[in-house]
Amino acid sequence: MDKTIALYRLEAELKEAKLEAKTTEKMYQLLVSEIKEKLGHGAQLHSEPNSQESKSNEGDKKADDIVELAKEEEGIRRFKGSARARRSFRKNDGSGNKVTENVIRIRECDLLKEIDKQGVSVAHCVAMDMRMGAGIAKDLKKKCRINTKQLSKGAKVGDIVAMKYNDDYVIQLVTKEESQELPEWKDFERTIRGLPNVCLELGIKKLAMPMIGCGLDALRWSDASELINKIFQGTSIEITIAMYAEKNYGRTSIGSKKRISLQPSKPKVFVVGDSHTKGIGRILEQKGDNSKEYASWVQSGATTEMIADNINSISSHLGPKDNLVVMTGTNDIKWKSDGSCSIDLAREARRNIMSQARRTKVILLSVPLRYDKPDAINVTKIYNEQLLNAYKKEAENLDLFNIRYLEVNDFLTEEHYARDKVHLNDRGKEVLSQEIDNCVWDFNNESDLDF
């Protein structure tokens, strides 16, 4: 009986170690071996005292399954964001010793050389698909021979996936769904907050990273650095922020609008909007003009005010040669249960969006029609008429001439909508993307505004 109870405890320790990622691969294999050795002497897992000996084969098979799973995931550690984000990091390094404050250094260095230093791990931001097709992620994938297909299995926004590299780790921070979209700050923060715990559990003492979130993802370094400083306080982990001198992975240098690129960058087309714009950035990147860079920032269910609240920070990397494309308004028409609705033109918010034209080209899209309600088409048409008049008036009042208006309902028809008759289907997304690209081309080759 004592022997069986000991096995129960051993199995529980094994499961806890596997689930909580608090053991090394070597320790894990030792535990498995010990279980299999005990099984060989007639004791079984998942058995009561005096259980039939025939169940020993079943227990042995279970141990073999665990070993096979370990082989499949060898060198990869997965940390789920939903749990990690709620936990505060430990106040010691696991040995009971009091930890000292971390040292955060910002210096010009090559991140690809930092990872070759013994005892240094690297962290960077990725999307759920783990494409790593641009920026520092692309170079890390090539250098470290990252199997993106394997890493992306089951990955969700907020997760952290650590891959063994030599004796250290390459850590993927999953901050967004698609590579061509930009992360929302709440998702970025949720993911980064889990990083100190992951480092402590993996035994990482030195961590190098780029200006995470502030290169192709276009977040503000002042916000990101403040978060990093805050969450690593009270740990003994040494943080190095690598400013990569040889290439320009970011838009700006620290605390400055000055560009650090040694080569001229391509003009950017940046699409911002509600769920109607989901996937537009990816389609443009695949089928658009090769001489331009495409990206998007999408917030499903967003109102114009919500977009305006973020517009300054998410578009701060755009300049005179770039294009900011904004589609918003669908969620400003509030439908009630009795079929009536209320309309909000959000004039102040739209004024803020239009003011971006002082530094970059702005293309304002109308609100797509919807076909799910009897009065929805007429209401949306009236809303767009009022919207166009408001845009004209504000452009004149603000003395803005770097703006173009695109009426999307001139080319989108009911056949371009999904079954819910509210959102666009794949064909509708492709048509919208093509028309946006055409409008960008026209805008860049014409000097006059024509509402």
Torsion sign over Cα 254, 231, 109, 149: negative
In this structure, the number of other CB atoms found within 10 A of the CB of residue 177 comes to 17
Dig out the tokens for 277 from the structure: 């714009």
CA angle 365, 368, 373 (to 5 degrees): 155
Q: Which helix (H) or strand (E) holds 273?
A: strand 268-273
Q: Are strands 238-243 and 268-273 parallel, antiparallel or unpaired?
A: unpaired
Contact between 444 and 267 (Cβ < 8 Å): yes
Q: Return left, alpha or beta for 345; rule: phi > 0 is left, psi -120 to 50 is alpha, else beta.
A: alpha
CA distances to 25, 61, 166 from 71, rounded to whole Å, are 10, 15, 17
Distance CA 261, CA 250 (A): 8
Question: Which structure tokens are listed for 272?
Answer: 């911002």
Rounded to whole angstroms, the Cα distance separating 144 from 22 reads 25
Provide the pLDDT for residue 247: 42
Q: What is the pLDDT of residue 405?
A: 95
Instruction: pLDDT tens for the chain, 451 residues: list them.
Output: 444 444 445 555 554 444 444 444 545 455 555 555 544 443 333 333 343 444 344 434 333 332 223 334 567 777 776 444 433 333 444 444 444 344 567 766 788 888 889 999 999 999 998 888 877 888 888 898 888 888 888 889 999 999 999 889 999 999 998 887 778 888 999 999 999 999 999 999 999 998 888 777 777 777 888 889 889 888 888 998 886 533 444 433 333 333 333 345 688 999 999 999 999 999 998 998 888 999 888 888 999 999 998 887 778 778 888 999 999 999 999 998 888 899 999 999 999 899 888 889 999 999 999 999 989 999 999 999 999 999 999 888 888 888 999 999 999 999 999 999 999 999 999 999 999 999 999 888 864 445 5
Token pair, residue 9, equals 């405890």
Q: Are 372 and 333 in contact (CB under 8 A)?
A: no
Distances (CA, A) of 2 to 6, 7, 8, 9, 425: 6, 9, 10, 11, 64
Strand-pair partners of 363: 325, 404
Element (H, E) at 242: strand 238-243
DSSP 8-state assignment for residue 215: S
Give 340's Cβ-side CA count (13 Å radius). 2
Residue 198 · residue 162 · CB < 8 Å: yes
Report the residue count for the chain: 451
Alpha helices in 320-425 (DSSP H): 347-354, 376-397
Please give the Cα distance from 73 to 82 (Å, whole number): 21
Q: Quickly list H helices, 89-241.
A: 111-114, 135-144, 148-151, 185-192, 195-202, 221-232
Q: Which helix (H) or strand (E) holds 293?
A: strand 293-298
All residues at 6 or more sequence positions from 244 whose CB lies less than 8 Å from its CB, including other chains: 108, 109, 110, 111, 136, 210
Q: Three-class SS of residue 126?
A: strand
| pLDDT at 320 (0 to 100) | 86
Q: Burial code of 52-66, b = ≥16 C-beta within 10 A, e = fewer?
A: eeeebeebbeebeeb
For residue 205, how many other CB atoms are within 10 A of its CB?
A: 16
DSSP for residue 246: S
- Among residues 134, 137, 425, the alpha carbon closest in space to that of 278 is found at 425
Question: φ and ψ at 365, to 5 degrees?
Answer: -100, 145
Quick one: pLDDT at residue 383? 95
Instruction: Write the CB contacts of 203 (distance below 8 Å, at least 6 apart in sequence).
Output: 94
Give catalytic residues, as residue numbers: 176, 217
